[in-house]
Amino acid sequence: MTLSEVTQIDGIAGDFKVTVKEAPRYVDVEKCIACGKCTEKCPKKVDSEYDAATGKRKAIYVKYAQAVPLKYQIDADACIRLQKPGACGFCEKVCDAGAINFNDTEKIHQLNVGAVVLAPGFEAFDPTDAGVWGFGVYPNVITSLQLERYLSASGPTEGHLIRPSDKRPVNKVAFLQCVGSRDENLCGNGYCSSVCCMYAIKEAVIAKDHVPGLQTTIFYMDMRTHGKEFDLYMERAKEDSGVRFVRCRVNGVEPDGSGGDLRLSYVNEEGRQLEEYYDMVVLSVGLQTPKHVLELAHTAGIKLTADNFAATSDFAPVQTSREGIFTCGAIAGPKDIPQSVVEGSAAAAAVADLLAPARFELTTEATFPQEKDVSREEPRIGVFVCHCGSNIAGTVDVKAVEEYAATLPDVVYVERNLFSCSQDTQEMITKRIREQNLNRIVIAACTPRTHEPLFRETLKAAGLNEYLVEMANIRNHNSWVHTKDPKAATAKAKDLVRMAAAKVTFGDSLKPFAVPITQKGLVIGGGVAGMTAALNLAEQGFAVHLVERTEVLGGNALNLKHTWAGEHVPSQLAKLIDKVTGNDKITIHKGASVTKVDGFVGNFSSTITDRNGATLVIDHGAGIVATGGDAYIPTEYNFDSITGVVTSVQFDKLFELKEQHVKKARRFVFIQCVGSREEGNMYCSKVCCTHSVQSAIALKKENPERNVYILYRDMRTYGQREALYKQARKLGVIFINYELHGKPKVTQNGSVIDVEVWDHVLHRPLKIEADMVILATAIRPQGDAAELGKLYKVPVDKQGFFQEAHAKLRPVDFSTDGMFVAGLAHYPKPVEESIAQALAASARAATLLSKSHISLDAVKATVDEDYCDGCALCVDVCPYNAITLIEKPAKAGGAGGKTIVVNKAQCKGCGLCQGTCPKRGVYVAGFTMKQISAQIQAALAV
């Protein structure tokens, strides 16, 4: 439902009545074919929101070229006709589809739903009103979002970085951090936006790729690159790409002459006033909650934090203050894409927990018409040539390809589409298959990797076997790589279409392979993440086995006292343990580890072994790895020899117990990044800055006379944690920055501990006398993570943390289907992020476990009994152990001998067996020798 807003939510969790107001589009989506004639004729231009006002759009427009749904809309405020009846109306005149409807009206929908998930996102801080650093006055001061558009191939300059003022190439760019973040004076946002440091580095690196020799400098207070592999990326940006980083306070951006150049003045770490000159200044704008989201929050009746984000508990990170209403993404605090995606899945898990009794009540299985048997028919091939907007048609002469395709053998129908993948084209292709009685289809468009599943569905909808389609990739393999040679690209497109048609001619109807799913989960690790995942799966109705290798549940959280927001960990942990132990769907195996794994997605068999060597085999359809992390035991700062030097975990215990030494001590020094962010361990442990700041606050609150120092590299109190940093400074905690090459020195000096650190302002070493030194030690991966990884064929990264399938879009999935990851096993993170990730892993596992069968691709190795002589060469090359050598069942009158069988559930259809077999005794369905040789002959037949 697009152009729609929620205006009212009545009812209670499980049974809400929601009112949705749908604004008029003035374009009939059923009729619009997105041909674009209307926008060509529309005389009214306004700033494009999509391009962050760097470019223009018309009053009738699509949001962006790949928009879903790809339907035009009229901006009523800008449209001449809608503002003045009788005027203009060009779009209506040129629209062949008759889709324009100036009389369209607002519609009100009443919907009955069990739960509501709020995912309205954020807006980028707009520096115009505050006139930050001359934005809005000097044309070459732009926002980071605008730079993003300038760098984009779909942006206003098609990816060319030029100055807005004079369109000249850019040679020197400055990025100014924390615009609209960590600054209550100019913008009113005290919190840190969490994502700007990282995106500024990314933009600097990519801008340098676009413009050889470009100089980029990032001016910052603290680099907050606390996410997975972020520090590594920053190091690469420094060392390989040559991005310059300057820690300072910027105090002015002024024009330098009238040519558009900018003079930047700043105070460096030594307190010196400096000036530099730039062609372009980019403001790294922060994230904030837009006004319409504040209204939505009010409508939904949910509580907000002081920073205007949805208030949630650290132990229920996607639950709002109103039962049945959940949040995910930036509405509950600034966050990056992976964390937002995690929360999207986490919200799904929380909803599924609430609505489990009503699962499948309102959904229907997609039904398809009876499949037609085409095995006895002569091939009748239909070819659909896609423009992909201008992606293909901008380079390839698609009309020539269309005409050529019509001349190929057995091709009886050819057509061109603007976007073959659009919903309306899908319906049209279905119609054409029926009308023209087509029995083989070629889609000349993009890659089968992303789009083949879609076209298979299209064939199914037309009653044709889904494997009778072949894609010719005339985009990724052609128009994108030969943009400078349209003639050759057109010739190549013809070759690709000819090859695809030849192959599909010999295509067979294939049946996907269904295997039953064991609807049980296995969770490895009984910490907060593991228990949360197990409990959620159980409450969704699935039986779960929870395996914990120690004798107690709780994991690393047993060492924690408070979350960053001040919630009491031990009491919440006790509640969670009670719920897990009291749930009859959860079987807990303490003192046990996984020692052997067989099977595959939907059908795993994991063997667990307890301390006495007793084994148990657990069958499960999906598995969640939540094995946690380990604490780094420091060897530096004389931790071994000085009793007053302790780790933060040790300190928490001493402080809690009001131990005499701590109680009497007056001088405390915290040292950050112990074991983190250095050679060999180039990652941030994410939680330590906030933890030390919290401890410092507690010490100061207990006795304001105490001297508390925090020696840090970058203070990473990200998001709304920034309030703690501010509070600590207000209470008089002294923060001293140190660099990696100038680590503090800690020595015992009689009854005191001397801490020596380089003072940047005074340019000399500073000696602090301390009673106690607290080391903020790193979180390490489990030492044996890789061993467990091998059992499930899931990888660990360079540091030894488990590696997810995709850093951004599949943050809890493993590349091995059916396996998921959560908590510290994935990367260091605070409690609420572990819980969100555990819920997400549970939601992802539930998408599998809620089905009774899983459908596997029909592209599998198939044995040809007539040719296979059981030589077994294929058995050795199969990387998936899917082939077994067996005794041939002796047929009546025939001899026995050996042959092979293929476990279709394990086979991935890679074709190594087919390539290896000297006798043509095994082939991959959908890639038979006949198909491939026809394709090769077609390739050579020019």
Contacts with another protein in 350-389 (CB under 8 A)?
A: 351-352, 354-355, 357-363
Q: Cβ closer to another protein: 66 or 265?
A: 66
Q: Cβ closer to another protein: 109 or 244?
A: 109
Rule CB under 8 A: choose which of 251, 581, 847, 855 binds another protein: 847
Question: What single letter denotes the amino acid at residue 114?
Answer: G
Q: Cβ closer to another protein: 62 or 697?
A: 62
* Binding status of residue 292 toward another protein by CB under 8 A: yes
174: left (phi over 0), alpha (psi -120 to 50) or beta: beta
* Binding status of residue 115 toward another protein by CB under 8 A: yes
* Binding status of residue 560 toward another protein by CB under 8 A: no
* Binding status of residue 155 toward another protein by CB under 8 A: yes
Query: For another protein, which stretch binds (CB under 8 A), given 149-157, 164-172, 429-437, 747-755?
Result: 149-157
Look at residues 791, 917, 793 and name the one whose alpha carbon lies nearest to residue 862: 917
* Binding status of residue 114 toward another protein by CB under 8 A: yes
* Least spacing, CB of residue 553 vs another protein, in Å: 27
Q: 501: number of CA atoms within 13 Å, CB side?
A: 30
Rule CB under 8 A: choose which of 67, 642, 786, 932 binds another protein: 67
Beta strand residue intervals within 257-350, DSSP E: 261-267, 273-278, 280-285, 287-288, 325-327
* Least spacing, CB of residue 422 vs another protein, in Å: 12
Backbone angles phi, psi at 773, to 5 degrees: -120, 125
* Binding status of residue 3 toward another protein by CB under 8 A: yes
Cβ neighbours of residue 357 closer than 8 Å, sequence gap 6 or more:
none
* Least spacing, CB of residue 566 vs another protein, in Å: 26
| DSSP of 355-417 | HGGGTTSS------PPPP--TTSPP-EEEEEE-TTTTTTTTS-HHHHHHHHTTSTTEEEEEEE
Q: Cβ closer to another protein: 67 or 616?
A: 67
Binding residues among 526-555 for another protein as defined by CB under 8 A: 540
**H or E stretch covering 936:** helix 929-940
Query: For another protein, which stretch binds (CB under 8 A), given 116-124, 182-190, 715-723, 899-907?
Result: 116-124
* Binding status of residue 421 toward another protein by CB under 8 A: no
* Least spacing, CB of residue 246 vs another protein, in Å: 21
Going 429 to 434 to 435 to 440, the CA torsion angle's sign is: positive
By rule CB under 8 A, what string of x and - marks binding of each residue 891-910 to another protein? --------------------
Rule CB under 8 A: choose which of 36, 55, 69, 242 binds another protein: 69
Query: For another protein, which stretch binds (CB under 8 A), given 109-117, 160-168, 566-574, 854-862?
Result: 109-117
Binding residues among 470-499 for another protein as defined by CB under 8 A: none
* Binding status of residue 87 toward another protein by CB under 8 A: no
Under 8 Å between Cβ of 279 and 172: yes
Q: How far is CA 44 from the centre of its chain?
A: 37
Q: Sort 866 into a burial class: Cβ within 10 Å, 0-12 / 13-18 / 19+.
A: exposed
The site that binds another protein (CB under 8 A) totals a number of residues, namely: 91
Rule CB under 8 A: choose which of 798, 808, 853, 898 binds another protein: 808
* Binding status of residue 125 toward another protein by CB under 8 A: no
* Least spacing, CB of residue 514 vs another protein, in Å: 17
Q: Cβ closer to another protein: 126 or 371?
A: 126
* Binding status of residue 117 toward another protein by CB under 8 A: yes
* Binding status of residue 626 toward another protein by CB under 8 A: no
Alpha helix (H) residue ranges in 506-549: 528-539
Q: Cβ closer to another protein: 127 or 329?
A: 329
Under 8 Å between Cβ of 682 and 235: yes
Query: For another protein, which stretch binds (CB under 8 A), given 147-155, 431-439, 500-508, 527-535?
Result: 147-155
Neighbours of 342 (CB within 10 A): 30
Peptide bond into 69 cis (omega under 30): yes
Q: Sort 104 into a burial class: Cβ within 10 Å, 0-12 / 13-18 / 19+.
A: middle
Q: Cβ closer to another protein: 340 or 439?
A: 340
Look at residues 588, 582, 561, 556 and name the one whose alpha carbon lies nearest to residue 572: 561
* Least spacing, CB of residue 109 vs another protein, in Å: 9
Q: Cβ closer to another protein: 38 or 665?
A: 38
Rule CB under 8 A: choose which of 32, 57, 58, 73 binds another protein: 73
Q: Sort 730 into a burial class: Cβ within 10 Å, 0-12 / 13-18 / 19+.
A: exposed
Binding residues among 327-346 for another protein as defined by CB under 8 A: 328-331, 337, 340-341, 343-345
CA distance 809 to 317: 20
Beta strand residue intervals within 651-706, DSSP E: 667-674
Cβ neighbours of residue 660 closer than 8 Å, sequence gap 6 or more:
none
Under 8 Å between Cβ of 132 and 178: no
Binding residues among 157-196 for another protein as defined by CB under 8 A: 159
CA distance 736 to 858: 62
Look at residues 850, 903, 842, 841 and name the one whose alpha carbon lies nearest to residue 874: 903
* Binding status of residue 106 toward another protein by CB under 8 A: no
Cβ neighbours of residue 405 closer than 8 Å, sequence gap 6 or more:
383, 385, 411, 414, 442, 444, 494, 497, 501
By rule CB under 8 A, what string of x and - marks binding of each residue 270-289 to another protein? --------------------
Rule CB under 8 A: choose which of 82, 116, 710, 715 binds another protein: 116
Question: What single letter denotes the amino acid at residue 670?
Answer: F
Query: For another protein, which stretch binds (CB under 8 A), given 323-331, 577-585, 653-661, 780-788?
Result: 323-331
Q: Cβ closer to another protein: 14 or 599?
A: 14
Under 8 Å between Cβ of 438 and 407: no
By rule CB under 8 A, what string of x and - marks binding of each residue 27-56 to another protein? -----------------------x-x----
Binding residues among 749-788 for another protein as defined by CB under 8 A: none
Neighbours of 458 (CB within 10 A): 23
Rule CB under 8 A: choose which of 308, 650, 816, 850 binds another protein: 850
Q: Cβ closer to another protein: 4 or 128?
A: 4
3-state SS of 30-51 is CCCCCCCHHHHHCCCEEECCCC
* Binding status of residue 302 toward another protein by CB under 8 A: no
Rule CB under 8 A: choose which of 183, 222, 229, 261 binds another protein: 229
Q: Cβ closer to another protein: 126 or 276?
A: 126
Q: Sort 628 into a burial class: Cβ within 10 Å, 0-12 / 13-18 / 19+.
A: buried
The DSSP bridge partners found for residue 504 are: none
Query: For another protein, which stretch binds (CB under 8 A), given 16-24, 464-472, 503-511, 700-708?
Result: 16-24
